[in-house]
Each structure stands twice: as C-alpha cells, then as structure tokens.
C-alpha cells in the first residue's frame, strides 16, 4: 500500500452520515477507559524487569506532561491546571525530578531515548529557566540519542523570547503549533485570541532554527464556525505551508470537560455544516498536495510521516501517528500513561494524589492494564487497519500463529455489512479499507475491539466524524 494510492480518498457524505456515531481513537488498545486500579505498580515493575532481561539496550520513547495553562480554551479536553502562578511549575518540577529518579533507579544504566515529547497543558507555560531545568533533569537520567526525534507542543501566545533557541540547543527539532481557527469571532467564542501574525512569526523563527516536520492543529465544529470561516483559515494556513496538519473534530462533552460548559450550544454548527466544513478542508488540503495519512492527519509528500505511510512503517501511539518503530514508552508527570512491553500504567490524574505518592517515594501510578495475548493480537489488527488501511492475512497468521478466519469469525461476519456498504473489501488474503471507507477507519477498527463488544463502558468517546 503506497501513499499515492492512499491519498485517493473518496468523500462520501451519505456514507459518513449513515455511520455517524462515537468511538475510540485507538491511541492505545485496550483503550484507557479499560484500565483498572490495584496491582498496577507491581505489574509495571514486572514489565520493567522483563525489559531489563530481554531488550535492555533498545531505545525508549519519553513523554513529559506539563499540565499548566494560564488561560482556559473552552473547547479543551486535556488534563490541565489553569493558573498564572509560574511558581507552581517550580514545585511541579521538583516532584517531577523525584519521579525521574524513581524511574531511573529501575534501570542498570541510563536508558537511551530515541523519541522525546513534551505535552500538556502548555509546555511553553514554563519559563526559559524552568525549561532549561527540565531538560537538564532529563539529560542527567536518560541518554538522548544524537538523532532523537524531540518534539514539543507550542502555544504561540505563551512563548517566551529565546525559548525556541533554547529548545533548539537542547536538540528539539519538531513542534506542533496550536491554532484551531483564525477567525476572530470564533477565537473569542472559545477564549483563544491568537492573531495570525503571531503564529506566522513563531513558525518563521522555528524554521530559521532548523525545526522540521512542523505541525499545525486545526479544529472543525467550534462555535460560530462555517464553511466561510474554514475557507479563510485554510487559505492562510496553506500560505504558511506547514509540513503536517492535524484536523480534529470538536467533541462537545460538557458533562466530562467543565470548560466546555462555557460554550453556547446554540452557536455550534449543525451536523450538516460540520460535515461541509470537513469536506471543504479535505478537498482543499488534497488539492494543495497534502497526503491523507489517516483519521485526522495530513502531511506533505516529502514529510517523514508520508514517507512512513508509503514504506509501511507508520506507527500509532498516545501522541497519534508516528514515524519511528514501536518502542516502550516511559511517561512522566501527572496523568501520563506509560507502556512497557504488554503493560500500560497511568499516573494519578490529580496533582495532590501525584504529589502524595512521590512524598512516599512511590511510583505515582493509579491504574493500568497488562494485555492478554488476545489483546496483543487485536492491538496488532487495529494498528494495521489504522496505519496501513489493510490486514495482510497470511502475514498476520504467521506473525501471531493463528488461523485468521477461525480466530476472527465474529469480526469477519460483522465486516460483511461494511463490505456491502463499500467501506472495506474482503478476500482470503486481505482486509482492505477502501478509499470510501478511509474517513470511517475507526468504524472498521471497532469491529476488532473485543472489550467494546463484550463489556459495557461509561466512557464518552468522541464522534467518529
């Protein structure tokens, strides 16, 4: 499967409406709502010990969660803490240092790191002194490889002078810029005033410092948005020519995310308008030469994400689509989720609980899950569908030592209706998501989710479109 063929997406509005609904984004499988309390520390410790015995030299991926923002964007669904007090970050870094040292003590020597990502919240809430301190803490306990992919989420409104230069000196070479929408009325409605000139200035400076694969986040479905505002936003963004564009559907879940209660429901675009905005965005981006990577992501053909898609090496993890081979993830900070081997482990979501655990010199874990063999098989199937739009059945059978049709008899039966509607094509050697079905890949993946099929959940998933 090559990027050239995958980019031939067919936007079928009737089909999308027919399958309208909610579902997991599958940044993990099993999904985080399946994590359970009890025994997670012991499971995580066991996973680390198995790693030490088998692949101790393999590089890690490292994620750091910085939860602070000094203003609240009303659409936000991140785990964040709104404050203007930068001193709170000093205390947080002190506790983060405790966690770093606790994790480091589980390794015989400093683990090598091939991927580093700072997320939030807003990592650029940190002052330059705090950012420098954080990087020194990490470099003292982990070995950042010379060719490591180091990325950070940037809020252009909260970027200190000299911060990008500092990040560049510490090896950062990727970034994601939060934009969402450039229309002033929309920005006011979601409490995120961000002039286009400000974003353009940050983007220009980043490029001058050698940052590559710069991503811009956009959202459709926000209050007061329309096809006209989307067209204007896209026109400006395409002048900037970012390497990647993430186009997210706004999920209005006010019961779950308190800031969303400040959004006027009457100002939200209708389902038909939202679908029209998506079609406009897709048509515009494809016409501008971007490749549709999958779900929400587009990239220029020469970008590493598009190259990974073309070469069959595309990955998916908690940060979305990725280019590097799947590896163990150590995640640090409040609410952060690690995956080592077949074990997921999530830190406490509340800052008080996180601090209390570290005061006891305990790993600040609250819940997690150790995958069964069935979980791992299904995780691989979902990964293949979302990253390559196909499952090569003979290869899958050899990799997992199963008879595919026997193992997935229920799933194959459920896929028949999707095949009849043109979402997938099926034969003895492969399951392939069609160009008509690519925007509904999550619907296909959900057929392989045994947890979703067998167990009820109280989770509120985002809309598929």
User: What residue numbers does the annotated binding site cover?
Assistant: 63, 69, 73, 75-77, 120-122, 153, 180, 192, 217, 251, 337
Paired with 374 in beta bridges are none
Q: Is 25 within 8 Å of 462 (Cβ atoms)? A: yes
Strand partners, 98: none
What radius of gyration, in Å, describes the C-alpha atoms of the chain?
22
Number of other CB atoms surrounding residue 108 within 10 Å: 7
CA distance 262 to 185: 15
Q: How many CA atoms lie within 13 A of 69 on its CB side?
A: 23
Q: For residue 177, list its beta bridge partners.
A: 154, 216
Q: How buried is residue 105: exposed, middle or buried, by Cβ count under 10 Å (0-12/13-18/19+)?
A: exposed
Name the token pair of 345: 């482990």
406 contact partners, CB below 8 Å, separation of at least 6:
none
Closest to 231 measured CA to CA, from 283, 188, 187: 283
* Distances in whole angstroms, Cα of residue 369 to Cα of each of 149, 274, 341, 376, 403: 28, 36, 11, 12, 26
Cis peptide before 30 (omega within 30 of 0): yes
Please enumerate, by residue number, every residue annotated as part of a binding site for [4Fe-4S] cluster.
69, 73, 76
Instruction: Give the pair of three-digit tokens for residue 103.
Output: 């994790």
d(CA 231, CA 220): 11
446 closest CA partner among 425, 427, 418:
418
Judge contact between 218 and 236, C-beta under 8 A: no
Please, what sign has the CA dihedral across residues 224, 226, 228, 232?
positive
- Positions of E strands within 284-355: 291-294, 297-299, 315-317, 320-322, 329-332, 337-340, 343-347
Q: How long a stretch of residues is the chain?
A: 465
CB 139 within 8 A of CB 104: no
Phi, psi of 262 (to 5 degrees): -85, -5
What 3-state DSSP class applies to 280?
A: helix
Check if the beta carbon of residue 67 is closer than 8 Å to that of residue 80. Answer: yes
């Amino acid at each position: 499967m090559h990027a050239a063929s995958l980019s031939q997406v067919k936007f079928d509005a009737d089909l999308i409406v027919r399958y309208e609904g909610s579902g997991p984004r599958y940044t993990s499988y099993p999904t985080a709502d399946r994590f359970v309390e009890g025994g997670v520390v012991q499971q995580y410790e066991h996973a680390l010990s198995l790693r030490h015995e088998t692949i101790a030299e393999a590089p890690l991926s490292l994620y750091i969660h910085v939860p602070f923002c000094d203003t609240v964007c009303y659409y936000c669904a991140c785990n964040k803490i709104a404050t203007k007090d930068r001193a709170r970050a000093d205390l947080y870094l002190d506790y983060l240092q405790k966690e770093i040292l606790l994790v480091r003590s589980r390794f015989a020597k400093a683990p090598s790191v091939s991927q580093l990502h700072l997320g939030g919240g807003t990592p650029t809430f940190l002052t330059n002194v705090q950012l420098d301190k954080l990087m020194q803490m990490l470099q003292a306990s982990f070995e950042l490889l010379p060719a490591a992919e180091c990325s950070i989420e940037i809020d252009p409104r909260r970027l200190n002078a000299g911060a990008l230069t500092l990040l560049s000196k510490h090896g950062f070479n990727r970034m994601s810029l939060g934009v969402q929408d450039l229309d002033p009325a929309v920005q006011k409605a979601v409490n995120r005033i961000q002039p286009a000139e400000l974003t353009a200035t940050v983007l220009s400076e980043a490029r001058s410092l050698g940052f590559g694969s710069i991503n811009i986040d956009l959202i459709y479905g926000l209050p007061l948005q329309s096809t006209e505002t989307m067209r204007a936003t896209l026109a400006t963004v395409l002048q900037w020519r970012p390497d990647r564009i993430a186009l997210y559907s706004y999920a209005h879940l006010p019961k779950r995310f308190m800031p969303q209660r400040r959004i006027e429901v009457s100002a939200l675009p209708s389902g038909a308008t939202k679908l029209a905005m998506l079609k406009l965005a897709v048509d515009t981006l494809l016409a501008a030469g971007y490749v549709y990577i999958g779900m929400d992501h587009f990239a220029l053909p020469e970008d590493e994400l598009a190259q990974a898609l073309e070469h069959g090496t595309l990955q998916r993890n908690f940060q979305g689509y990725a280019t590097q081979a799947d590896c163990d993830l150590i995640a640090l900070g409040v609410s952060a989720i690690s995956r080592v081997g077949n074990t997921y482990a999530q830190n406490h979501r509340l800052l008080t609980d996180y601090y209390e655990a570290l005061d006891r010199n305990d790993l600040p874990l609250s819940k997690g899950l150790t995958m069964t063999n069935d979980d791992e098989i299904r995780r691989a199937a979902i990964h293949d569908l979302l990253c390559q739009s196909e499952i090569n059945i003979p290869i899958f059978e050899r990799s997992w030592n199963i008879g595919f049709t026997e193992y997935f008899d229920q799933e194959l039966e459920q896929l028949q209706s999707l095949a009849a509607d043109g979402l997938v094509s099926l034969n003895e050697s492969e399951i392939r998501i069609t160009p008509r079905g690519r925007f509904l890949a999550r619907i296909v993946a959900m057929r392989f989710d045994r947890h979703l099929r067998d167990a009820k959940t109280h989770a509120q998933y985002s809309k598929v479109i």
